[in-house]
């Protein structure tokens, strides 16, 4: 597979190619796209290359003011109103630009033929089930490098660039081999959730170490409540705290080795310590019976209705549960307890992750317009609007949402406490087959069908298989 993302593709080259794409399909012939020579000829309009270096306060990205703008937005838990609101601001700035908007689901299948024919929207929120596989798009050179946007001045930030106003690490989350191709608009933290009111009522402390956790679980179980549940049919949910605990135990290198497909990454001592720790929940029968057969909504609902005390989840949990959560439940998120006596990261370190990855296709007719809309969405005004609508943080670091529930408050506290120690991993978006494989292996660990040793071996061999597979485009992080 040709790796093209590093080469800054020319928009016109793509348009030209795309013209032949449809014909190629109907003719059933093979399109060889190797001829890159013409692609390097400069384009006349000058809108497709990097933005002008001349400062233009009103239009730093040199958006052609009358060029139409088309957005396709995943319409899931967050809806798409926040994008429509931002489009109104865009329309104020560029009244001559016609804006076309579509909110929907299963974007991958909808947009697949459009990517092949070159008739793509200018901005996509590539989220939800059935989305576009991002690593494949990057490997095919289908996504714009978002550096122009990141280097443009942010709105309402006193001269800072967009990059400087974002939560640290967000840019890396959307980077493939160092090039930012996606920008996660929403920012979530992952952790372990419990009901503060329930814990206070019973005098249960928040566990600091895994031993505390196991002690507490014994106590919880004695009351007849199950200590843990997780989103059984999507075992990636329970793998998350395992990886978090491993990262906290062994430091960031644990995660880097996994992302870089290093030999022995999954069998390293911190990984084993974390897997052992969570395996204790199985051994001691601390997991709500039937958990492995539950959908995420089922498990979360059982947790919120008091069947289990802990559940792992991202910070979307509060909005996802909606009215199911009882009055006064007071849900809070914490990071994983320390699984070793000498954890490498501070106790407060937590996993940060983006959601709602925004991408600008290389073949877009108005890529700068797409980036400009994203720049508007990352203004404090739009970010506040989003958080008020969704109870979810954006990737913008400093802004004050006006409507904050208990879950979001604890998310903000956890994130502030974690600070620069907030960590992340990338393998799941780089290598979807590896991700699917380790998730399923984890489901076996958590039902006791395999032990931590077997789990680590099987995960490692899945990683090795990807590493040895020449047809998979590899990425590196440092």
Residues 95-124 that bind other proteins (CB under 8 A): 102, 104-106, 108-110, 112-113, 115-118
Of 336 and 441, nearer to other proteins (C-beta) is 441
Buried b (16+ CB within 10 A) or exposed e, 74-96: bbbbbebebbebbbebbeeebee
Of 234 and 348, nearer to other proteins (C-beta) is 234
Q: Which of residues 4-23 bind other proteins (CB under 8 A)?
A: 17-18, 20-22
The residue from 49, 128, 346, 448 that contacts other proteins (CB under 8 A) is 128
Shortest distance (Å) from residue 63 CB to other proteins: 25
* 132 lies in the binding site for other proteins (CB under 8 A): yes
* 227 lies in the binding site for other proteins (CB under 8 A): no
Q: Which of residues 25-44 bind other proteins (CB under 8 A)?
A: 25-26, 28, 30-33
Shortest distance (Å) from residue 255 CB to other proteins: 22
* H/E segment holding residue 332: strand 331-334
Of 297 and 409, nearer to other proteins (C-beta) is 297
CA-CA-CA-CA torsion for 356, 362, 365, 366, nearest 10 degrees?
50
Of 140 and 206, nearer to other proteins (C-beta) is 140
Of 178 and 322, nearer to other proteins (C-beta) is 322
Q: Which residues contact 91 (CB under 8 A, 6 or more apart)?
A: 97, 99
| E-assigned strand segments in 235-325 | 308-314
Q: Cα separation of 289 and 305, whole Å?
A: 15
Q: Which of residues 44-103 bind other proteins (CB under 8 A)?
A: 75-78, 102
What's phi and psi for 205, nearest 5 deg? -85, 155
Number of residues counted as binding other proteins (CB under 8 A): 82
Q: Taking contact as CB under 8 A, which single stretch among the options 39-47, 261-269, 318-326, 419-427 is the one that binds other proteins? A: 318-326
Contact 278, 336 (CB under 8 A): no
Of 228 and 302, nearer to other proteins (C-beta) is 302
What's phi and psi for 423, nearest 5 deg? -120, 170
Q: Which of residues 167-226 bind other proteins (CB under 8 A)?
A: none
Shortest distance (Å) from residue 287 CB to other proteins: 11
**Cross-strand bridge partners of residue 308:** 226
Contact 429, 412 (CB under 8 A): no
Shortest distance (Å) from residue 25 CB to other proteins: 5
Q: Cα separation of 332 and 182, whole Å?
A: 29
Of 171 and 239, nearer to other proteins (C-beta) is 239
Q: Which of residues 231-270 bind other proteins (CB under 8 A)?
A: 232-235
Q: Which of residues 437-476 bind other proteins (CB under 8 A)?
A: 439-441, 443-444, 447, 449, 471
Q: Which of residues 319-338 bind other proteins (CB under 8 A)?
A: 319-324
Shortest distance (Å) from residue 416 CB to other proteins: 26
| E-assigned strand segments in 33-74 | 69-74
Could you say which DSSP state residue 365 is in? Answer: S
Q: Cα separation of 74 and 357, whole Å?
A: 10
Shortest distance (Å) from residue 325 CB to other proteins: 9
Cα end-to-end distance, the chain, whole Å = 23
Of 78 and 399, nearer to other proteins (C-beta) is 78
Shortest distance (Å) from residue 405 CB to other proteins: 15
Q: Cα separation of 101 and 196, whole Å?
A: 41
- Residue whose structure tokens are 């443009």: 152
Task: Work out the angle at residue 31's Cα, subtended by the Cα atoms of residues 27 and 36, and round it to the nearest 5 degrees.
Answer: 150
């Amino acid at each position: 597979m040709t790796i093209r993302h590093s080469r800054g593709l020319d928009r016109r080259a793509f348009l030209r190619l795309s013209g032949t794409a449809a014909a190629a399909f109907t003719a059933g012939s093979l399109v060889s796209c190797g001829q890159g020579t013409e692609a390097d000829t400069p384009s006349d309009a000058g809108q497709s290359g990097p933005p002008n270096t001349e400062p233009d306060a009103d239009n730093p990205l040199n958006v052609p003011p009358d060029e139409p703008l088309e957005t396709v937005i995943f319409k899931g838990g967050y809806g798409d109103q926040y994008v429509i609101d931002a489009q109104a601001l865009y329309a104020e700035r560029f009244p001559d630009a016609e804006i076309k908007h579509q909110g929907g689901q299963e974007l991958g299948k909808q947009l697949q033929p459009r990517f092949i024919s070159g008739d793509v929207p200018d901005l996509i929120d590539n989220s939800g089930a059935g989305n576009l596989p991002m690593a494949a798009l990057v490997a095919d050179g289908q996504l714009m490098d978002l550096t122009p946007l990141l280097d443009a001045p942010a709105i309402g930030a006193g001269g800072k660039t967009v990059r400087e106003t974002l939560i640290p690490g967000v840019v890396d989350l959307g980077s493939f081999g160092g090039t930012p191709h996606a920008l996660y608009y929403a920012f979530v933290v992952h952790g372990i959730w419990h009901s503060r009111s329930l814990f206070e009522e019973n005098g249960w402390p928040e566990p600091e170490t895994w031993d505390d956790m196991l002690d507490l679980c014994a106590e919880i179980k004695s009351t007849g409540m199950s200590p843990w549940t997780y989103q059984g049919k999507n075992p990636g949910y329970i793998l998350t705290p395992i990886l978090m605990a491993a990262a906290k135990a062994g430091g960031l290198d644990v995660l880097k080795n996994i992302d870089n497909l290093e030999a022995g990454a999954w069998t390293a001592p911190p990984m084993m310590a974390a897997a052992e720790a969570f395996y204790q929940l199985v051994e001691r029968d601390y997991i709500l019976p039937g958990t492995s057969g539950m959908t995420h909504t089922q498990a979360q609902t059982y947790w919120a209705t008091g069947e289990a005390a802990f559940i792992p989840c991202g910070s979307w949990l509060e909005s996802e549960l909606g009215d199911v959560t009882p009055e006064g439940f007071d849900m809070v998120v914490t990071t994983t307890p320390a699984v070793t006596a000498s954890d490498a990261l501070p106790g407060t370190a937590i996993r940060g992750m983006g959601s709602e990855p925004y991408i600008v296709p290389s073949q877009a007719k108005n890529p700068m317009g797409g980036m400009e809309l994203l720049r508007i969405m990352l203004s404090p005004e739009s970010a506040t609007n989003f958080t008020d609508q969704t109870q979810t943080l954006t990737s913008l670091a400093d802004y004050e949402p006006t409507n904050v529930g208990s879950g979001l408050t604890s998310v903000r506290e956890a994130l502030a406490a974690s600070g620069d120690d907030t960590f992340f991993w990338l393998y799941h978006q780089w290598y979807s087959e590896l991700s699917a494989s380790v998730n399923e292996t984890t489901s076996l660990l958590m039902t006791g069908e395999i032990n931590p040793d077997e789990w680590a071996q099987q995960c490692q061999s899945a990683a090795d298989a990807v590493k040895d597979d020449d047809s998979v485009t590899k990425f590196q992080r440092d």
